[in-house]
Homo-oligomer: A and B are copies of this chain.
């Protein structure tokens, strides 16, 4: 690549116009570039890039005089097709698209290798927070044993507000009004977005194969105000965590709500932020936290990829992950946790004994039990913190408990120790 980088941008939504703005106005950039063309099916009333050439067929960007194609169209299938054709035409590709990297990262990187070009995706995970480059470069001397992250900004925003006393519904509505949450927020709040991200991070850290399917994914839809209040009594806060952990038996992968000790570093992160803890052999426990979404943060990550390309005159000297090693995902039921168990039972004698027996039958012992004041309708909440136990035993106990009419409501949150 010459020192001047010629750029084609595909997609013309929020992220693309934010990037365009940064490239046009940022005076700090140690980057010699020109935007050759933009691929946009329609104009964006918020941003006029003239006199830059516009292609209405985004695939025409590939054949223009560009060194790098920046893929910002989102989605999976068309994006994959676009990236493939660009790489096969000898163009580098920078993308912010986590879904396409999660599903097709392995084959796309192999393709880039084949054509001696690069596929970079810093902003696909936690936007501009430089977690991809850190795992690929700066921590190379380290063996990573665990990554645990609050990887979805919307989810963390909602949980932070609930911690302050707001309801789930109200907070979600506010988040949508503020633009933090999509009109359809389901991929954010149901744990899928965080699952894609931890899948990519685990593959980088453990050099393991993508995509990874069949691991436990759970969202925050069932978390209520009272969980925060009860968790606090035991010194915990409620967060959503995605975890990848290397063990002798394979890789533990999961994305679900957790209780974290209030004094822990991740617990202190509030608002639309991402926080990641990485445990390594040499650096010990390592943290990184930053804004995980938004136009500007995403632009920062894309530009850092462009700078990497511009500094690496011989592209073969820059490292890309391989995502090749087959990896054994440990079945979720084989894992162990301590649990926060929330029960609502009928207020009559003998119920606590019955509940206790259901769990005891599954060898589940309790660290702490706290019976709360009666709610309306003759319901009594009981909070249990269990000892460490096997997930399968817990699932069996839940199945059994749900058959008893005295148990009106039942929910667990896993504790991350």
- Using CB atoms and an 8 Å cutoff, list the residues of chain A in contact with chain B: 22, 26, 28-31, 122, 128-130, 133-134, 137-143, 263-265, 267-269, 273, 275, 280-291, 296-297, 299-300, 303-304, 307-308, 311-314, 317-319
How far apart are A127's CB and chain B's nearest CB, in angstroms? 8
A141–B304 touching, CB < 8 Å: yes
Which residues from chain B contact A137 at a C-beta distance below 8 Å?
133, 304, 307-308, 311
B300 touching A290, Cβ below 8 Å: no
Q: Does A26 contact B268, Cβ atoms closer than 8 Å? A: no
B265 and A282 contacting across the interface, CB-CB below 8 Å: no
Q: How many copies does the complex hold?
A: 2
Return the chain B residue nearest A303 by Cβ.
B141
Q: Is the CB of B307 within 8 A of A318?
A: no
Q: How far is the CA of A12 from the CA of B169 in the complex (A)?
A: 62
The 4 closest A-B CB pairs, nearest first, are A130-B138, A141-B303, A282-B300, A286-B290
Given A265-B268, A290-B286, A28 and B299 touching (CB < 8 A)? no
Cβ-defined contact, B311 with A284, below 8 A? no
Interface centre among A28, A263, A308, A318 (most CB of B within 10 A): A28
Chain B residues whose C-beta falls within 8 Å of the C-beta of A140 in the assembled complex: 28-31, 303-304, 307
Q: How far is the CB of A15 from chain B (nearest CB, A)?
A: 13
**Can you pick out 30 interface pairs between chain A and chain B where the beta carbons lie within 8 Å of each other?**
A22-B141, A26-B141, A26-B143, A28-B141, A28-B143, A29-B141, A30-B319, A128-B142, A128-B283, A129-B286, A130-B138, A130-B139, A134-B138, A137-B311, A138-B304, A140-B307, A141-B304, A281-B296, A282-B296, A282-B299, A282-B300, A283-B296, A284-B291, A284-B297, A286-B290, A288-B289, A311-B318, A311-B319, A312-B317, A314-B314
